[in-house]
Amino acid sequence: MRSNHPVLPRAQQERWEETYRSTPYRDLPWFSARPYPWLERGVRERWFRPRTRVLDVGCGAGTNSLFLARSGFRVSGVDLAPAAIEAARRRAGRAGLAVDFRSGDALRLPYPDRTFGGAVDVGCYHTIPIRLRPAYSREIARVVRPGGRYLVSWIGRESTQPRGPPHRPSLEETARAFEREFLFLRTEIERLHRGPSTAYRALLQRRSTPQPPPR
């Protein structure tokens, strides 16, 4: 791998690890014991081919990974915080599920090219610093095979609550980051908890041919 390949800032890595070390994962505000509803819908509607290998990026304590494994997919989960991966492995062990959980940087995913037929990102993308978003898109594209689906959800620009990610992308910014490598198949917006928080959800597909040039 090239020595100048982007990586997430060291301070960001240390902050996530300290968060999971100092707070039980069940007490973290983003933890849910239930899988993300849009992911459940995607499985019902067969957005991913049955039994394909799916990557859960920013898997945290592994709720979505475990759901995918129970649904018959071959699952890998990656997270920046080793303590999150430890928790995910314990949960998988208790559930009797085989999930490949690894600690790793989302900008340097520990997998060969075209490993996965699909990927899921519920809450990782919006933590990526603005200048690194295109590199993140390229890295997801590197490990997903052409034609593979990528489901991504993020807290949007319209969210005004003080707590939350500092880099809240608009839909336009997200299109700029991902459109070179992915086709946008569908997008939705959701108001969360009847408050000032807004989530975007998008289903993308890895391009099989390069994006046409501007006309």
Q: What is the pLDDT of residues 120-172, one digit of tens each?
A: 999 999 999 999 999 999 999 999 999 999 999 999 888 887 778 888 999 99
> Does the predicted TM-score (pTM) go above 0.85?
yes
* End-to-end Cα spacing for the chain: 35
Query: Under a CB-based contact definition with an 8 Å cutoff, are residues 127 and 60 in contact?
Result: no
pLDDT digits (tens, 9 = 90+) for 42-82: 999 999 999 999 999 999 999 999 999 999 999 999 999 99
Let me know the angle formed at the C-alpha of 27 by 26 and 29, rounded to the nearest 5 degrees: 105
Domains, the chain, ordered by start: 10-206 (3.40.50.150)
pLDDT, residue 163, reads 78
Q: Are strands 144-155 and 116-122 parallel, antiparallel or unpaired?
A: parallel
pLDDT digits (tens, 9 = 90+) for 66-77: 999 999 999 999
- The whole-angstrom distance between residue 198's C-alpha and the CA centroid of its chain comes to 17
pLDDT, residue 195, reads 56
